[in-house]
Amino acid sequence: MSADGTGGAQVKSAVRTVELLEYFAGSPGMHSLASVQEAVGYPKSSLYMLLRTLVELGWVETDATGTRYGIGVRALLVGTAYLDGDEAVAAARPALDRLSDDTTETIHLARLDGTDVVYLATRQSQHYLRPFTRVGRRLPAHSTALGKALLATYSDDQVRAMLPPALTALTVHTHTDRERLIEELHTVRERGFAVDREENTLGLRCFGVAIPYRTPARDAVSCSVPAARLTPAHEQTIKDALFDARDRLALATRRL
């Protein structure tokens, strides 16, 4: 029995519920009971009961056969509530709109969550050839300009504690060695912005800056542009606009 009089089984059930929802969030589509059990490792009987409870509450949905499971609509409602209630996201909207107008490219606002960045807001490019990134998407920090801009606000030792020595490669250009990444973070600190050179998506270049309303920084903003459209002049325009947006965002969020 725990100190507050509740049983340990209740705590385990809460942990399993969160882990199950996180599994569905990271694995889009519908999944059989067997595939879910293989992924999470829970006993089949308790997993089935937990899934049925979550279905009844709307957190999990089933297909027409009732044998396959996926994330439910209530998860969307909670995610939307997080964004609607986040003061930093609200304060950033005017600066994101201006950055979108100044660059005509795709703009992202993201937050560091562990070793990943999570997209909180986007502004789509005005061009026909453009990247598409949805709010809520999660990507490794080491492969994105957003993530590298945020990691650069930590010390080298902090980055070593956060990231494993071997990093996952998303393209042939991704840094897979932590020490090489740390070397690049030194450059990011010196020049004030980070660059993703097709390290997350082939054919796509990104530039990112951290928003300095916290130390280390929690949020960053980036501009993504297809490599085929990136000229030296356009790159300079993007960098200048990002620095201006960083200053505006720092001012807008200084009391948060």
The three-state DSSP-derived secondary structure of 53-118 is HHHHHCCEEECCCCCEEEECHHHHHHHHHHHHHCHHHHHHHHHHHHHHHHHCCEEEEEEEECCEEE
* Integer CA distances (angstroms), 191 to 99, 115, 121, 216, 250, in order: 20, 23, 25, 17, 17
Q: What number of other Cβ atoms are within 10 A of residue 222's Cβ?
A: 32
pLDDT (0 to 100) of residue 66: 86
CATH number at residue 49: 1.10.10.10
Q: Is residue 2 part of a domain?
A: no
Omega of the bond prior to 232 within 30 degrees of 0, cis? no
* Cross-sheet strand order for the sheet of 68-71: 31-32, 68-71, 60-62
Beta bridge partners of 219: 111
pLDDT (0 to 100) of residue 75: 80
Token representation of residue 100: 């979108």
pLDDT (0 to 100) of residue 27: 82
Q: Is residue 40 part of a domain?
A: yes
Same domain, 95 and 128: yes
Beta bridge partners of 205: 197, 225
Q: Final residue of a domain: which of 25, 43, 76? A: 76
Q: Final residue of a domain: which of 27, 55, 76? A: 76
pLDDT (0 to 100) of residue 4: 45
The Cα–Cα gap between 111 and 27 comes to: 21
pLDDT (0 to 100) of residue 132: 59
Domain coverage including residue 30: 8-76
Total number of domains constituting the chain: 2
CATH number at residue 204: 3.30.450.40
Same domain, 102 and 157: yes
Q: Is residue 1 part of a domain?
A: no
State phi, psi for 163 to the nearest 5 degrees. Answer: -110, 145
Same domain, 107 and 71: no
Q: Final residue of a domain: which of 53, 76, 99? A: 76
What value, to the nearest 5°, has the Cα angle with vertex 239 and ends 238 and 241? Answer: 65
pLDDT (0 to 100) of residue 133: 66
The owner of tokens 């993201």 is: 110
Same domain, 163 and 205: yes
Q: Is residue 233 part of a domain?
A: yes
Task: Report residues of the chain scoring pLDDT below 50.
Answer: 1-9
Q: Is residue 3 part of a domain?
A: no
Same domain, 247 and 193: yes
The owner of tokens 């504690």 is: 161
Q: pLDDT, tens digit, for every residue of 175-224?
A: 999 999 999 999 999 999 999 999 999 999 999 999 998 889 999 999 99
The Cα–Cα gap between 135 and 79 comes to: 10
DSSP for 125-136, written as a single string: -SSSS-----TT
The Cα–Cα gap between 181 and 166 comes to: 10
Q: Which amino acid is at 49?
A: M
pLDDT (0 to 100) of residue 1: 39
- Axis crossing angle, helix 8-26 with helix 73-85, rounded to the nearest 10: 90
pLDDT (0 to 100) of residue 5: 45
pLDDT (0 to 100) of residue 11: 75
